[in-house]
Amino acid sequence: MRKSKAFLKKEFLHLIRDPKSLFLISLLPVIMLLFYGYVVRMDVKNIKFGVVNYDHSQFFEGLVSDMEASSYFTREGEFPSLKDCEKWIVKGKVDACLIIPSNGYKKLLTGKDTEVLLVLDGSDSNLATTVANYFHAFLAKFNSKHMPRGPEFRFSVVNFFNPELKSSHFFVPGLAAIFLMMICAMLTSITIVKEKEIGSLKLLRLAPVSPFQVIVVKLLPYLFLAVVEASLIIAVAELWFRVPFRGSLLSLGVSIFIYMFAGLSFGVFLSTIASSQAIAMILSLVLTILPSVLLSGFIFPIKSMPVLLQALTYIIPARYFLIIIRGIMLMGVGFKEIYRELVFLMVFAIFFFVISTFRLKREL
Amino acid sequence: MRRILAIVKKEFKQMRRQKQTLLLLFVVPVVQLLIFGYVLTTDVKNIDLGIKDSDKTVFSRHLIDKISNSGYFKIKYVDTTPRGVEELLKKRKVDAVLIIPEGFMRKVLRREGSQAQLIVNAMDSNIASIVTGYIMRIFENFGAGILKGSAPAKVKMIYTAWFNPELKSVYFMVPGLAGLIITIICTLLIGFSIVREKETSTLEQLSITPIKPHELLIGKMIPYALGGFLSITLALMVGKLWFHVPMRGSYLLLFGASFLYILTALSIGILIATFSTSLLQVLFLSWFSLLFAIMLSGLLIPIRNMPKFIQFLSNLTPLKFYIKMLREIFLKGGGLNLMLMDIAILSLFAVVFVLISSLLFRKRLTA
């Protein structure tokens, strides 16, 4: 026990001997969250549209000005014919073109439906889909306001957990999860390989400590650092981005602790297999960032992926932590709803911890 | 000229000796494109929709059939009150619940006023509005089918999407991904190769040979530029042959734009390498610039949604202009006249970065 205490002290000393980089490391994720928290927005505003109005009635002019009034759409111009509007779409100056047929209003008065045509710029398919959806919703509202009511199948919508449909409430916790994973894996990925490179790992063979103790002692200072880090990040999410916090702090604390443990032991594992610090860093970046961003459900819904890739997402810790942190913060869930995710993270952490111990034993 | 060729030869030899580099150049782009081409779709499918049908008429069952046939939803019948829905959402059993009240169909037909209720887990606001949109369309079509004559006239929408009528996400994503892949390859590889020479002091040895700094740089850039060209060609071939992304523009323009961009990416790599003294630093700096490029180039996240200040910052990443051009060439078949501005900006980037990096490189080398 005393031996590991001395050893632990040495590790802490290593950590605080370089206050400049320590400071940088702790501030980096916070700064990134502050910056990228503004970047990731998937809801679309200011859809630019052009109008070709062959109808000229007051009714359809009202429709266009209603559209403009609805904060989603911005009118860029009116065109005499579709040909002119086409040019603007090709140039990317408008996202969509609304074409109102001649005698549209007259047709409505005789009791027949009038079809307006929305020409979309499909080269950005995501945007085009959203625009079509928005316009559809707009028309539904417009019809119920201006047209005589008849029998109609309608439904009301309740948006649970995020009634204002704020994109940042969803993405800020997600960014927190990604930055935490990245920092943890990176921090510990160079620990052991560094000692390997400068040769001090061989000295450890002579020291009366077991590989288990070595790894525990290597992890502890970073776990401490990571918890401080996590608190900072959560504070920024809460106080700056005003993400609601509906669950209990305790359950979030426990989850973060386990998640960090998973990230750190994954980093140590990389450190035991890498032959140099540079390789360890490359591995930690490649294996944490891209999968955490793309395969965790951070932006792209897992459910929409092909089955094979869905299966792949099960081995990514960020997938589970995203469910946990979004659940706790936005839905206010407790341990009852997230215990399965926690168990997986725990298994992940212990698995890599044990493997690293074995690898280190062989090394020593 | 002879000296440049000597350097090129040396670089090729080193490249060939390092199997990992070749792997990075040829295998990684293809694999990445194959995986991410499938991942990066914002199409929403397989939504778990809970349905509570208190109406229990032929009509309501018909409506539910329509919903399930739409292909977007997986239907689960649930027995719950609006209050109990929260539990279901929290347990992630369903993404949304549709509650059809008792006598819904009868009341609608008799104009007694009744409406169904859709409760959505709006955590992901984007998905929430998409789900609402889907259901809205299904309700409208259903109404049009049943009510026929008795419904009042209204303004309806039909739409066509140019350049991508089926609105396939992959058409949009593949050109962007190809741009990202050559950024990674060009920036990282040349950066590594320069810093490796710094670390092993072979750069110093080169500096006392009659080779001039600019010759050394050109010699270093040629092999990696060729590598970049090969991997972009490979990536675009996968896009065209596997994902069937239509290629509507001119290949000449495509390769011209790629040439400008590869030059820029390589110069950024050289710049990073001149600033760093170790591989670790190269990695850190290139990672920073990559994250910046991924987030702000419009590859994944639409630039127009960002705050004005960040929109302005996004002009600092050359990838933004390259991706824009790739998408335009591929999908819109745009010609030179559409892209004069982008070409100008990209050329400016290329010239500025090549100048700065070569000046700094020379300073470091001769210092």
Measure A140 CA to nearest chain B CA, in Å.
9
What is the mean predicted confidence (pLDDT) over A326-334? 91
- Of residues A183 and B62, more confidence is placed in B62
Q: Poorest-confidence range of A6-15, A231-240, B129-138, B176-185?
A: A6-15
Contact list, B304 vs chain A (CB under 8 Å)? 44-46
B36 inside 8 A of chain A by CB: yes
Count of beta carbons in the 10 Å neighbourhood of residue B82? 12
Q: How confident is the model at residue A257 (pLDDT cuts 50, 70, 90)?
A: very high
Q: Could you tell me which of A107, A105, A108, A86 has the C-alpha nearest to residue A97?
A: A86
Residue A321's SS3 state is helix
Asked whether residue A290 is domain-assigned, the answer is: yes
In this structure, are A259 and A292 located in the same domain?
Answer: yes
Question: Residue B152: is its pLDDT beyond 80?
Answer: no
Task: Tell me what pLDDT residue B24 has.
Answer: 67
> What range does the domain containing A176 cover?
2-40+166-363
B2-44 confidence digits (pLDDT tens): 788 888 888 888 877 776 667 766 777 788 788 777 777 767 8
Task: Please tell me the predicted confidence (pLDDT) of residue B21.
Answer: 67
Q: Is there a single domain that holds both residue A247 and residue A285?
A: yes
Q: What is the CATH number of domain B47-150?
A: 3.40.1710.10
Q: How many CB atoms lie within 10 A of CB A78?
A: 12
User: A179-194 burial by CB neighbour count: b if 16+ within 10 A, else e?
Assistant: bbbbbbbbbbbbbbbb
The DSSP output letter for B315 is G
- ipTM of this complex prediction, to 2 decimal places: 0.80
DSSP A99: E
Residue A182 maps to a domain: yes
Judge whether B280 and B287 are in contact, CB under 8 Å: no
Rounded CA gap, B298 and B302, in Å?
5
Task: Decide if A194 is inside a domain.
Answer: yes
pLDDT at position B149? 65
Residues 6+ apart with CB under 8 A from B66: B138, B141, B142
* Confidence at residue B277, expressed as pLDDT on a 0 to 100 scale: 78
pLDDT band at A21 (very low <50, low <70, confident <90, very high): low
CATH number, residue A130: 3.40.1710.10
Average pLDDT score, chain A: 85
Query: What is the structure's pLDDT at B98?
Result: 93
Q: Give percent above pLDDT 90 in chain B.
A: 20
Answer yes or no: is A153 within a domain.
no
CA distance A260 to chain B (A): 21
pLDDT value of residue A40: 78
CA angle, A283 then A288 then A292, to 5°: 155
pLDDT for the residue numbered B20: 66
Return residues 271-300 of A near B (CB < 8 Å).
276-278, 281-282, 285, 289, 293-295, 299-300
Q: Closest Cα partner for A119 from B340, B208, B163, B176? A: B163
**pLDDT band for position B347 (50/70/90)?**
very high
Check residue A1 and give its pLDDT.
61
**Banded pLDDT at A2 (limits 50, 70, 90):** low
Nearest CA in chain A to B126: A43
Domain termination residue (choose one: A146, A175, A202): A146
- A355 — contact with chain B (CB < 8 Å)? no
Residues 6+ apart with CB under 8 A from B342: B257, B321, B324, B325
What's the one-letter identity of residue B216? L
A321 and A209 inside one domain: yes
CA A48, CA B144: separation in Å to the nearest integer?
A: 30
Nearest CA in chain A to B83: A160
Whether residue A53 has pLDDT greater than 70: yes
A78 and A63 assigned to the same domain? yes
| pLDDT of res. A340 | 93
B20 touches chain A (CB under 8 A): no
Q: Which stretches does DSSP call E strand in chain A?
A: 47-53, 73-78, 96-100, 114-121, 155-160
pLDDT tens across A210-250, in order?
Answer: 888 888 888 888 888 888 888 999 999 999 999 999 999 99
Q: How does pLDDT run across B247-299, given as a tens digit for each residue?
A: 888 899 999 999 999 999 999 999 988 888 777 777 778 878 888 888 889 88
Q: What percent of chain B has pLDDT over 70?
A: 96
* CB contact B109 to A (< 8 Å): yes
Name the β-bridge partners of B52.
B99
- Same domain? For A127 and A219 the reply is no
Specify whether A105 is located in the same domain as A191: no
- H helical segments located in A116-239: 125-146, 167-189, 191-198, 200-206, 211-235
Distance CA B223, CA B22 (A): 12
Q: What is the DSSP string of B192-244?
A: HHHHHHHHTTHHHHHHTSS--HHHHHHHHHHHHHHHHHHHHHHHHHHHHHTS-
Asked whether residue A187 falls in the same domain as residue A77, the answer is no
As a dihedral over the C-alpha atoms of residue A27, residue A33, residue A36, residue A37, rounded to 10 degrees, the angle is -150
B338 touches A at CB < 8 Å: yes
Q: Which residue has the tokens 């169904």?
A: B116
Answer whether residue B64 shows pLDDT above 90: yes
Closest chain A residue to B142 measured between Cα atoms?
A153
More confident residue, B64 or A123: B64
Residue B150 banded pLDDT, cuts 50, 70, 90:
low
| Number of structural domains in chain A | 2
Chain A residues with CB inside 8 Å of B338's CB? Answer: 90-91
pLDDT at A361: 85
What pLDDT shows up at residue B264? 93
Q: Is B323 on the interface with A (CB under 8 A)?
A: no
Q: In this structure, how many other beta carbons lie within 10 angstroms of the beta carbon of residue B111? A: 12
Decide if A264 contacts A184 (C-beta within 8 A). Answer: yes
- Ordered by start, the domain boundaries in chain B are 2-41+167-366, 47-150
At CA A106, angle to CA A103 and CA A110, rounded to 5? 135
Say whether pLDDT at B367 is over 70.
no
Looking at the structure, do residues A304 and A337 belong to the same domain, yes or no?
yes
**Do residue B301 and residue A41 have CB atoms under 8 angstroms apart?**
yes
Across residues A111-124, what is the average pLDDT?
86
Cα of A244 vs its chain's centroid, Å: 16
Across the interface, which of B172, B307, B328 has its CB nearest the CB of A125?
B172
Task: Using alpha carbons, list the distances in angstroms from residue A258 to A192, A226, A295.
Answer: 22, 11, 20
Across chain B, mean pLDDT equals 85
**Residues A64, A36 within the same domain:** no
Rounded to an integer, the average pLDDT of A85-106 is 87
pLDDT for residue A152: 74
Q: Per-residue pLDDT for A204 more than 90? A: no
The answer on A241 and A205 residing in a single domain is: yes
Q: Name the residue with higher pLDDT: B148 or B264.
A: B264
Looking at residue A306, its pLDDT comes to 83
